[in-house]
A and B are shown apart, each in its own frame.
Chain A
Amino acid sequence: MRCQKASPSRKEETGKSSKDPSMTTAQKGVAVVAARMIPVYIMGREYEVPEGLTIMKAMEYAGFQFIRGCGCRGGICGGCGTVYRKPGDYRIYVGLACQNVVEPNMVLTQMPFYPANRASYDFEKIRPIPEEIFKLYPELFRCLGCNACTKVCPMEIQVMDVVSALKQGNITEAAILSFSCIQCGLCVSRCMGELPQYHIFQLARRIYGGKIAPRAKHLDDMVKKVSEGKYEKGLRELMKIDGEELKKLYQKREIEPIMAEENWKPADTRYL
């Protein structure tokens, strides 16, 4: 495996230090282990990128700089929804640029935003019944059941089933099925009925979480303890301690073992 470094004198070439934030990854002269270079087509134009990179890193390698359509880089913010096709294949493929790895000859584009109608509502006034959703999003009933939304979801949510559950008035089912939704908007872009799926689903999850799901009793108990001032004494003592002493206390702290028994207790039980 030949180790191929990019030109050592990047600074001479660009006049910038490698710590300069305006340098792209490629310019920084990061040592590139001899990955095979493959062609990808970004918005119709061919670029040679090292295989094994994610789409996002490959685009940055090619010189693109993300100021939109990039967020957590961890597959959860929904900013980098990407649509692509492969040669000789009519199908549409989707992924997240920060997660999916480049494939040779893929033809891709990004969908950082797709307009979706968002109803405004006062959540306090919303009752936990399906009619509240019907009132705010009547386009829900324009769903044709074509399933285009499901096919295009990068989180593999059964999007059509969620819409179906809502039409049947089942908010709980809709909330559970749409749990992984990252609001990337790809479903909205393909919807023939012009539904704003992720906005509707978010309303369903809000109603479920805030007004339908049973409240956690242990949470209520804890809140009661806190508001009764059970932890006041301990907290006030901590607040009096100075920085160095605090650091020592933190480093000496007892940590619950990962596989602790149900009834594990720390040695110091003063503050329990």
Chain B
Amino acid sequence: MIIDVLPRREINSAKKIEEVSGQNLSLCYQCGLCAGGCPAGFAMDLLPNQVLHLAQLGMWERITGSKTAWLCASCFVCTVRCPRGVDIAKLMEAVRCITLRQNINYVEPSKIAAETLAELPQVALVSSFRKHTA
């Protein structure tokens, strides 16, 4: 029998996500403006507003099982357009951090082809590694 003496402070909890992102999840009223402006929306299984709704409901496995946060290019259209001032870009970063902070990379630097490493500008590699590696 496992006795929970200490309260769980896992990252995939609404409180922790709100802490990491600095956003109030309950502000979202599902207007969909973020999804409409998202340039990556065409490739996403869950749209940004759906991710937010799932976050409100605490359904973390569905969020971390989706590619949405990894396709996000941090273009900030959602942030600029949200009528309630929710910074969805920050929320997406927090969702990525759930995985990254478990020391799991999304991009694996050692597996990138040598020709690609020689061809890509430094700005691409630095930003990719900051967003997509642990």
Q: Does the CB pair A131–B122 fall under 8 Å?
A: no
- Give how many B residues have a beta carbon under 8 Å from the other chain's beta carbons: 12
Per-position binary interface string of chain A over residues 120-135, scored 1 when its CB falls under 8 Å from any chain B CB and 0 otherwise: 0000000000011011
Q: A141-B125, A141-B129, A142-B133 are in contact. Are A134 and B118 (CB under 8 A)?
A: yes
A 126-184 contacts with B by CB, 8 A = 131-132, 134-135, 138-139, 141-142, 144, 167-169
**Distance to closest chain A CB from B96 (angstroms):** 16
Please tell me which stretch of B4-12, B32-40, B108-116 contacts chain A, meaning at least 4 of its Cβ atoms lie within 8 angstroms of it: B108-116
Count of A interface residues, CB-CB < 8 Å = 12
Given known contacts A131-B117, A134-B118, is B112 in contact with A141 (CB within 8 Å)? Answer: no
CB distance from B108 to the nearest CB of A (A): 9
Whole-angstrom CA separation of A51 from B77 in the bound complex: 65
The majority secondary structure among interface residues of chain B is: helix
Contact with A along B49-81 (1 / 0, CB 8 A): 000000000000000000000000000000000
Which A residues are in CB contact (< 8 Å) with B122? 134, 141, 167-169
B126→A138 contact, CB < 8 A:
no
CA distance A251 to B110 in the complex (A): 60
* Distance to closest chain A CB from B125 (angstroms): 4
A selection of 27 A-B contacts at a CB cut-off of 8 Å is: A131-B117, A131-B118, A132-B118, A134-B117, A134-B118, A134-B122, A134-B125, A135-B114, A135-B117, A135-B118, A138-B109, A138-B110, A138-B117, A138-B125, A139-B109, A141-B109, A141-B122, A141-B125, A141-B126, A141-B129, A142-B109, A142-B133, A144-B130, A167-B122, A167-B126, A168-B122, A169-B122
